[in-house]
Amino acid sequence: MARRRGGTGRRGPTTTTAPRAPLLLLLLLLALAAAAAAPSALRAQTAPVDDALRIGFRAGAYFPNDGKIRDVFGDVIPALGLATVTPVHPNHARFFPMLELLGTKSGRNHFFVLPLTMVTEYQLPAGSGRRNNVPFVRGEAGVAYFDYRISRAGKVVSSRRGGGAASLEAGVLVSRSFRVGARYRFLQHFDGYDFGGVELYTVVGSFHIL
């Protein structure tokens, strides 16, 4: 009888602790799996979907600074062309070259500026994984090719020459394929004319160059 009681006493701890060990092991495995998956999920949220530069169509309006330029070409000059499209990557700075064409023609008068600049773009911090409505700021500086002929007040000036170009810009990356912005262009003065001014624009589309 003593052995049966003793045997019952030995079985008691075995029956109460045996189910606990697999449960603890399962919880430990789940915790390890969650810890291993957490960094991957974070990387998936913060990594850009596509980090390549693309090309989009730019359409906007240019408002020349110089009253003499406005007298000849008008107060508002259409600004059409192509633009470099950067990926949406909040809290991130990027450096890249930019080649653009700005200008207009009115009768025999014309001015065209071809700026080649190095751009620094910074996209402001946003929520993790956010890919739309991200504000950005830009600064760029470089050189430009100027080609102009302007006849005003009985005096004609014309030239083809190189000069300096820079700009400051701010806008919103609505999506990968659509952005709006405002830019102030600083362009070198020649023959008493300032070709700089304010540009309001939108960029639509996002296409690989190749």
The model's pLDDT over 106-152, given as tens digits with 9 standing for 90+, comes to 999 999 999 999 999 999 998 767 889 999 999 999 999 999 999 99
What sign does the dihedral 74-75-78-79 (CA atoms) show? positive
At residue 66, the pLDDT reads 96
Can you give 7-70 as a three-state secondary structure string? Answer: HHHHHHHHHHHCCHHHHHHHHHHHHHHHHHHHHHHHHHHHCCCCCCCEEEEEEEEEEECCHHHH
Tokens of 77: 């000059």
At residue 34, the pLDDT reads 47
**Low pLDDT (below 70) residues in the chain:** 1-50, 128, 209-210
Q: With 0.85 as the threshold, say if the pTM is over it.
A: no
Residue type at position 170: A
How many CB atoms lie under 10 A from the CB of residue 204?
A: 15
At residue 95, the pLDDT reads 94
Angle, CA of 183, 187 and 192, to the nearest 5°: 130
At residue 110, the pLDDT reads 97
At residue 28, the pLDDT reads 53
Question: What Cα–Cα distance (Å) separates residue 171 from each residue in 26, 77, 84?
Answer: 51, 20, 14
